Structure 1
Amino acid sequence: MTEHFPKDAWYAIGGAATLAEGEVMPIKLFGEERVAWRGDDGESHVWHNRCIHRGMRLQYGFVDGDRLACRYHGWRFGGDAQCKKIPAHPTMAPPDDFCIPVFQSAERNGLVWTTAGTPGADVTGLPGGENFVFCRSLAVHAPPDAVVEHLGDMDASVTMPGILSTILNIEGADVPVAVAIQPVSADKSQVHVTAGQAVAENAIQPLRLRVSAWAKRLRDTIENQTEKEASE
């Protein structure tokens, strides 16, 4: 991948509302497996996607209060990623080094963010601040650079690593849109689309539907172009 996707940058991995309490969601970033989950306390987490016991993928686990339980042997890990309970040894206090590797994560502007490195600053979120509304996430079977290139052809501008902004005209109104690109792997991407506009509460869902339809057309165009270039 190019300079568009430095590992020390923050990347959106999904809508915060999509990761509801009790949800466990597998994700990939730069080809590396991770798991995102949210406990009953409302806190979201992004961890390595393997249990330290037998290597079971934690994406198949379940949330038990404010803990994530491995599906295989039921080991419970707290929000600090420390093992809190081993069902086969209920009276044993798990050692301090029984913990899952953790990745930095944050929530801003309706999105969950994480990183593959060590960012120099806290996540700044999307341009336009809290006025942005999460619309849709879409898998794109195309390299992350292809998504950047296509958006660049639409006069979208890079506002921070992995995020491009453009303006859509929706029913005569200019609506700023930000596309956060998740570099899943060298040949796959995920896009998380948000729109910024001060609208009444009853107008948010129609806005989401229109921007989501645009995002789907964008995805189809990028995939078709990528397939065409691969066959030439």
Structure 2
Amino acid sequence: MKHRKKLPNGWFVVGLSVDLSNGQVSNATIQETELVIWRDHKGIAHAWYNRCPHRGTRLSLGFVRGDRLACLYHGFQFMGDGRCIYTPAMPSFVPPKSIAATIFQCFESRGFIWVGNKDMEPDNISDLMADDSNLSSRLLPIRSLFIQRSSSSVIDRLPSIPFPPSKLLETSDVNCLRVEKACEVHGTFVWESRGRSIKASYQTNELKPGIFNVTCQYEDKIDILMVTVQPINSERTGVHLILIPELKSTEPNSLRLSYAKWSRIFRQRIENFKEKVQPS
């Protein structure tokens, strides 16, 4: 099997910042290119090709030692720039520059972990990297989902699945919710729970390839669901969700849990979506 060491052109989200703790090692795949995603003990996230340059062991099986990532097989330790600086079997040995991990650019913004090829320019997503303290205070990471559909199928189906207004979920359980389409032409939905009903309309905007803002407008408020699509292979896709409610939640953990429950419905509807058959 041929291993791919280069990503497609563009920037990709591989997870939520909140899900990668200091000293944690994880993995991700983008169009069959395997990555190791890890955070050092200074809090800096890194993305590398998921193979040790020594014997090809997956680096995601390794562990973090301070600001280094250690391979599980022979214990080779690599700095954040990919250089191997320590080999346990030969402590005095100075590893040559050729023993280095293949690294990718990695940065964090808007609650997401972004990766791209080493030669990628950040200009095309510079607006997403801008620091907005007001926005950051309202960001509510929901979860990452892995869906058994291609990324193009997920993107095609995304506009057909509305999300509940945050006002409704602040005080109710998502299991009590049901949605009815009130006006198909104008995309208005009625959310009902425990005798309450809220009318909401939706709009889906693609900010950059694979990066979407879905707005939910209701009463005098607007909630935004940021959806990023991670193409894993031709049959599997990662979807990462962050909510930006109109107002900062007073119960963020409870609200996050409610949306996490709703996200299971989101995944089911995408996976079970039936294409309309055109009459012959």
TM-score under structure 1 normalisation? 0.86
Contact 1:86 1:92 in 2 (8 A): yes
2:146 maps to 139
Check conservation: 1:56, 1:72, Cα contact below 8 A: yes
Instruction: Give the whole-Å Cα distance in 1 for the aligned partners of 2:266 and 2:209.
Output: 20
User: 1:90-169, aligned counterparts within 5 Å?
Assistant: 90-116=91-117, 118-122=119-123, 123-124=125-126, 125=128, 129-130=135-136, 131-154=138-161, 155-168=203-216
User: Which fold has the larger relative contact order, with Cα–Cα distance below 8 Å and residues 6 or more apart in sequence?
Assistant: 1
Unaligned runs of 5+ in 1: 1-5
Kept in 2: contact 1:74–1:87 (CA 8 A) = yes
Return the match for 1:217 from 265, 268, 272. Answer: 265
1:205 aligns with 2:249: no
1:15 corresponding residue in structure 2 = 16
RMSD of aligned residue pairs (Cα, Å): 2.7
Report the identity percentage: 32
- For 1:63 and 1:16, the matched residues in 2 are separated by 17
* Cα contact 2:104–2:115 (8 A) shared by 1: yes
CA offsets 1:111-156 (integer angstroms, 9 cap, x no match) = 1111257433254438985343221111111000011101134542
Does residue 1:180 correspond to 2:228, yes or no? yes
Distance 2:153 2:231 in 1: 11
Contact 1:8 1:118 in 2 (8 A): no
Match of 1:65 in 2: 66
CA deviation vs aligned residue, 1:44-102 (integer Å, no higher than 9, x gap): 10001000111100111001111000000000001111001011111111112211000
Q: Is the CA contact 2:22–2:40 (under 8 Å) kept in the aligned structure 1?
A: yes
Does the 8 A contact of 1:109 with 1:133 survive in 2? no
The residue aligned with 1:3 is none
Aligned partner of 1:187: which letter? E
Residues of 2 paired with 1:151 and 1:63: CA distance? 37
Greater C-alpha radius of gyration: 2
